[in-house]
Amino acid sequence: MATTTCGYEAMRSGNTILCYINRDGLPLSDRCNERMWTFCMEQYPNNVTEIQTIRNQTDDSPLVTYPDPPYHVATNSRMTVREKLQQVQNYIQRLEYNYTGMQFFDINPNRSLYGLMDTARHMITESLPIKCFEAFLIGLYLTTGILGLDRFNISFKTRFNSVIYRHVILGVKYDQIYGALGISRRSDLSYKPLNGKYNCLSKLIDDFICAYRNYGHTVLRVRIGLPIIHDLKSFLTINWKALSIQPNKTDKNEYDRELDKIVRIWRQIDIHMTYRSVVPLASLVQPTGTLITSASVSNRLQSVTFRQNRDTSLNCRRSAIQKPTTNINEESSTEKDQSVPYAIRV
């Protein structure tokens, strides 16, 4: 649950406060700044004196260096896709993980891609320490335009000592090879290079699950979304819950089959399409909390058609622009207009 206070919001897991979210914007207001330092002392009661010394040290503070974002890495034809992803990950790492206990940016995951990418630009401008969700957005922003690269979210819900934790990374797929971008307190819970180690999605997920188990975490749920369109100005929203698996309650062979099914769905979706589809991508998935089955997938995909070429898109756009002529049968003409497919530039 989240408890809203003046200027910041506490994110809780039961009675445990995980962190605070800054609601006052930047620069930090006095109340958010005071809450950040107080929370740090509450988390580390044995280091209160050291924390006070750091807080009062203003004159001798080292100069802050801002890392240069790799804005043009996506269009650099001299670099391989693996090298481009390494550049993006290096930049994310140089921003450093946010250990302050105060998340500096207020992010709503239900916003459109355009709004989330605007927040990502703001984060790059400020160059402040970040958490996993902020690293996800920055990675999404900087990888937009890399031809042939599919990006999707992978989110984890784990339990450690009765406390629930959540983590999200940016999954990537290129030429049947999988990897991941992101940031975490643990190095093996963030970056996975495109080195050919993960030739299927199940191997990538298993690697994260094994890493969590090594740290004593129980993986309660893994959620995977649909690939995200390469368009910084799109008003589509990210599909976060295309597939949900519970590794602690499901046999490994069973959820491996489910992961293979979501990959087959991706192959039937034109991720790099310029125009919106008549049928929203959200209609491809089951309601929240249910697992995709082979029967439901096949039935849904049979009724969904995507525009595969330019001519079809142009015909749809022309038919949408043409205004119907007024005649006596207005009701029948209205019904025909509603059935006409449309295409909207995003």
Tens digits of residue pLDDT in 141-195: 999 999 999 999 999 999 999 999 999 999 999 988 999 999 999 999 999 999 9
For the chain, the first-to-last Cα distance in angstroms comes to 35
Q: Residue 69: its pLDDT value, please?
A: 93
pLDDT: which is higher, 267 or 54: 54
- pLDDT per position as a tens digit, 105-154: 999 999 999 999 999 999 999 999 999 999 999 999 999 999 999 999 99
pLDDT band at residue 325 under the 50/70/90 scheme: very low
Q: Which residues of 130-162 are buried (b: 16+ CB within 10 A; e: fewer)?
A: bbbbbbbbbbbbbbbebeebbbbbbbbbbbeee
Per-state percent for the chain, helix, strand, coil, to nearest 5: 40, 20, 45
- Work out the angle at residue 186's Cα, subtended by the Cα atoms of residues 188 and 258, and round it to the nearest 5 degrees: 45
Query: For the chain, which residues make up each domain, given as ranges?
Result: 1-55, 68-263, 313-325+334-346
Q: Residue 141: its pLDDT value, please?
A: 96
The residues near 62 (Cβ < 8 Å, ≥ 6 apart) are none
pLDDT at residue 290 above 50? Answer: no
pLDDT at residue 241 above 60? Answer: yes
Bond from prior residue into 27 cis (ω within 30 degrees of 0): yes
pLDDT band at residue 289 under the 50/70/90 scheme: very low
d(CA 12, CA 71): 35
Question: Which residues are designated catalytic?
Answer: 132, 167, 184
pLDDT at residue 10 above 60? Answer: yes
Instruction: Kindly state the tokens that stand for 121.
Output: 């630009």
DSSP 130: B
**Lowest-pLDDT range, 44-53, 206-215, 299-308?**
299-308
pLDDT at residue 291 above 80? Answer: no
The 3-state secondary structure of 229-241, one letter per residue: CCCCCCCCECCCC
Q: Residue 4: its pLDDT value, please?
A: 53
Side-by-side strand order, sheet with 218-224: 177-181, 163-174, 150-160, 218-224, 243-245
Q: Which of 87, 77, 64 is nearest to 138 (CA)?
A: 87
CATH entry, 68-263, from 1.10.8, 3.10.620, 1.25.40, 3.40.50? 3.10.620
d(CA 321, CA 221): 45
